[in-house]
Structure 1
């Protein structure tokens, strides 16, 4: 069936059906109508899959997707137009330009944690480019997701708990740039734990399992994987689970040794270990001696600290936050 679908896409490309701009715009607008008409069904499906809040799906996936479509529709003629090229001695008498053209068939590989955004946003680009595409079926996402190692947080002030707690536990921790662990000095570790405890209570109430806003692990295999990471540790916060619902409570573990299994792979779930470091230099060394992380979040009002981290680490994404952001 997959081969037949790819073959049909190739035949459509060779026949030129996807090349006209009018066709591409029509397809984009049809996609927009589908999303608008089925927002309720989309939110319901994700509620059933991972217990995602009905408010989170539009916020995290659909609004950005609709904006992407609107941008493509408004800019497509400009993107597809010939682009003049400066003439030189060899081309002075010629009409010289670059003509963007569709390249071929596209296979889109999305991910299950934000399935609509991570599959349909690339689809928007493929349609706009005039390339027939083959997205995978939604039920296969768990087998094609690509994970990125280790995200970190270095905590230096008391007004960061809302951001850390939300960033870690939204979507039940199944977000690529969710923090994998916290680095903090021993003197503030208990304060960090208490700050997260109070924020969790505010977010999800005394029983996150019954909260309509707290999600679930995508499937049983990932539930077992995340729970295995917790083996041998006593949760400082949370730790409760229910395999029948794929529920794992928001969990914090403190005093985690750097060599622990919990620190060796991306967690992609609601477990948040805390590792203590002596100072900012120790934190930088800790980060740099491991595989390059996708993101690093620095919470400090000290410009020297922020500058040191920015200069001394090589991270794909560094978010430097001052105290005033959280007031």
Structure 2
């Protein structure tokens, strides 16, 4: 097994040899990856079931097809994305032309999380390969089966000098971060994101941090209750709440709080039955310690619905909490599980107090038939991305960037935004040789008026 230093050295030499700069080479690599994913579909489904208890439907919808869609979209547009772009030039440079070259960064490190271990490992990888980089992927040790399978697939598809997978725990991540990379892409917690940013800063390495936060869901008195409840339950309990953009807590107008609570319960039981532990569509938390976190949250608030847990099964039932305060521990950290605090507000000032207490969330949700109410919220608050009258689904659009702000991260990807993230725009000016005006050359005596005329300074001031 090659050491990390050896892998980096091989990838450096591979990148400098120039093969990955070829658009046909990149497209061929992505096509080969797509074929391999199709061939390993049953093994991928089993690995995700073993790691997270995911149903085949969820695994296909949120992991496998998501990656395949990203590959398809990228292949369709890569020729255009990768082409150099002409730029206009000013009179000062005449005669000349200019362009921007899309240049890959080089050797990239990707540290992926466990919650969507297939999708969040491969989607950034697709963008990095499309842009002409090499990749070292470090998947999560918590999603062990999926990580092992990813390594197997990657080794079948790619030369390790192009793409390699390194398995290991946090110590391995620390070792990887100690090396000099040309770009780092990290998805995970805020705490670890800060560690990654510090490590990147040591080498002035650019990075993207996809983190998290407490994503609010605001429901006003005009929202259609049954539809709102159905879409919230789906978004909250997808992957058992282990989704970085899941609705973290509800802020509901007090005029509809009780009807909405009843509708939430009805939708939970419609989706998973009265005992979710028996549902084949309801997954499990990744580790028993995450069950313990949920138990702490549940124990500090009033349980409106649910509250059942089983550490041995990594199980926490769909749970609704009420009588929550800003000081409750469930409001001090991202929940990342199937526990949903429901908080009522009576006016904009009260709602604002809750929202300002958790600034810059990764996602922001509004349910309302009042367009001006929704637009005012979208204008006045900072967030990574938002949806009105739905949850989660903005992430399915290749035309939209995905990324955070402040504590929820920085940088973005998906579609062309991913290609741009892993590309540097190299500007180039081409000067002609048949004309060389003497104005810019010393001595400058007697040339100032002509310079101002050429640059339009006098006309701009008049």
| TM-score relative to the length of structure 2 | 0.65
Q: Within 2, Cα distance between the matches of 1:81 and 1:317?
A: 29
1:221-262 CA-partner distances (Å, limit 9, x unpaired): 322223222233342211111111100000001111221111
* Distance in 2 of aligned mates of 1:185 and 1:78: 47
Aligned to 2:327: 259
Q: Which residue of 2 aligns with 1:227?
A: 295
The residue aligned with 1:128 is 130
* 1:158-178, Cα deviation, whole Å (9 max, x unpaired): 231101111111100011111
In the TM superposition, residue 125 of structure 1 has moved relative to its aligned partner by 1.2
Spell out the pairing of 1:1-327 with structure 2 (5 A cutoff).
1-89=3-91, 91-94=93-96, 96-139=98-141, 145-146=188-189, 147-155=211-219, 156=221, 157=223, 158-159=225-226, 160-321=228-389
SS at structure 2 position matched to 1:99: strand
Distance 1:137 1:252 in 2: 32
- CA change 1:128–1:313 in 2 (3 A) is closer
- Structure number having the greater strand percentage: 2
Q: Which deviates more, 6-15 or 237-246? A: 6-15
How far apart are the structure 2 equivalents of 1:91 and 1:311? 41
Q: Is the 8 A contact 1:50 1:215 kept in 2?
A: yes
> Greater shift after overlay, 254-263 or 81-90?
81-90
CA pair 259-6 structure 1, distance change in 2 beyond 3 A = same
Question: Which is worse superposed, 78-87 or 113-122?
Answer: 78-87
Residues 112, 139 of structure 2: 8 Å contact kept: no
Q: Distance in 1 between matches of 2:376 and 2:315?
A: 39
Distance of aligned partners of 1:125 and 1:248 in 2 relative to their CA distance in 1, 3 Å threshold: same
CA drift at 1:213: 0.5
Q: Which consecutive aligned stretches of 4+ in structure 1 deviate over 6 angstroms post-superposition?
A: none
Q: Deviations over 1:90-146 (max 9, x none)?
A: 654556433323221011122211122212111111111111111113436696623
Aligned to 1:115, the other structure's residue is in SS state coil
Structure 2 gap ranges (5+): 144-168, 171-186, 190-210, 391-462
Q: Distance in 2 between matches of 1:83 and 1:312?
A: 36
Cα distance between partner residues in 2 of 1:266 and 1:251? 15
Decide whether the 8 Å contact of 1:204 with 1:214 is kept in 2: yes
How far off is 1:20 after superposition? 2.5
Aligned 8 A contact 1:280 1:305 in 2: no
| 1:15-48 alpha-carbon deviations (Å, 9 max, x no partner) | 2232223321221111111111111211111111
1:71–1:91 CA distance, 2 compared to 1 (3 A): farther
Tell me the TM-score normalised to structure 1 length. 0.90
Between structure 1 and structure 2, the one with the greater Rg is 2
Change (3 A) 1:240 1:105: same
Return the alpha-carbon distance in structure 1 between the equivalents of residues 8 and 293 of structure 2: 33
Aligned pairs, how many?
322
Structure 1 residue 50, shift from structure 2 partner: 1.0
In the alignment, structure 1 segments of 5+ residues that lack a partner are: 323-327
1:86 is displaced (CA, Å) by 2.4
- Shift, 1:89, TM fit: 4.3
Q: Is the 8 A contact 1:181 1:275 kept in 2?
A: yes
Work out the CA distance in 2 between the residues paired with 1:200 and 1:45: 26
Are the structure 2 counterparts of residues 96 and 228 from structure 1 closer, same or farther at C-alpha, using a change threshold of 3 Å? same
Distance 1:275 1:96, change over 3 A: closer
- Cα distance in 2 for partners of 1:9, 1:114 equals 27
Q: Give the match for residue 325 of structure 1.
A: none
**Partner SS for 1:98:** strand
Deviation at 1:208, TM superposition (A): 0.5
Partner SS, residue 341 of structure 2: strand
> Alpha carbons of 1:16 and 1:314: their partners in 2 closer, same or farther (altered >3 Å)?
closer
Structure 1 range deviating more: 307-316 or 201-210: 307-316
Deviations 1:178-234 (A, max 9, x none): 111111244433322211111111000121001010011112232222322223334
The verdict on how the C-alpha distance between 1:74 and 1:189 changes in structure 2, with shifts beyond 3 A counting, is closer
Does the 8 Å contact 2:291/2:309 carry over to 1? no
